[in-house]
Amino acid sequence: MEEKSVNDAFWHAKWQRNEIGFHEPQPNMLLIGYFSQLHLPTGARIFVPLCGKSLDIHWLLARGYHVSGIELSHIAVQQLFAELGLSPCITPMGVLKRYEAGHLCIFVGDFFDLTPQFLGHVDGVYDRAALIALPAHLRQRYAKHLVAITNSAPELLICLHYEQSCRAGPPFSVDEAEVRQHYEGQFLLTRLKNHDVPGGLKGICPATETVWKLIPRNRCGL
């Protein structure tokens, strides 16, 4: 678990120093363009893992979805609620804390400490920057835990692929083979879009983004 502790310390330090270049200044265009492919009704509960203070949450809430998430940094979560103009009720949940107001519920703490009982029912998952934020030794564990706590809910997954030797992550490169390794046993995977990232990965090397739709096989009659 020492490597995991190093990873946690990395993200805590990023938020403490306000080094959050990964925080997009607008809702993600791939979310806007493809989230409807999950065919979830207004009022559905969407889980956003490793959510930071993403403006994607603002977008989901504005469209009538209920949003739950988990984030390691209390700084990020406090800023998220402040930027939404919400005053959360804060409740201890084991080693986690739950921040809740309106249709938004965010757990603060370690993703792997979140249980199905704490999280409750989930209708869909949106992962833009969680899987690719984790080093290789944590990604398989992450995917398995995500499936378990969400009861294999449908998912929109956005991944980044580039030559990993060009740059140390995060974000890390996750290709199609790895996505299938983690999820194909439980889900029918559909690649919705694959496109080159303009300017590549921070101008260092070419990169592509892929949008995946994951539908549970037991809901597809497979």
**pTM exceeds 0.85 for this model:** yes
Is pLDDT at 98 greater than 80 in this prediction?
yes
Is pLDDT at 8 greater than 80 in this prediction?
no
Annotated binding site for S-adenosyl-L-methionine: 15, 50, 71, 128
Mean pLDDT of 68-73: 96
Mean pLDDT of 24-30: 88
For the chain, the structural domain boundaries read 2-219
CA neighbor of 43 nearest in space, from 158, 148, 121, 116: 121
What is the dotted CATH code of the domain comprising 2-219? Answer: 3.40.50.150
Annotated binding site: 15, 50, 71, 128
Is pLDDT at 54 greater than 90 in this prediction?
yes
Distances (CA, A) of 93 to 38, 90, 189, 207: 30, 10, 34, 39
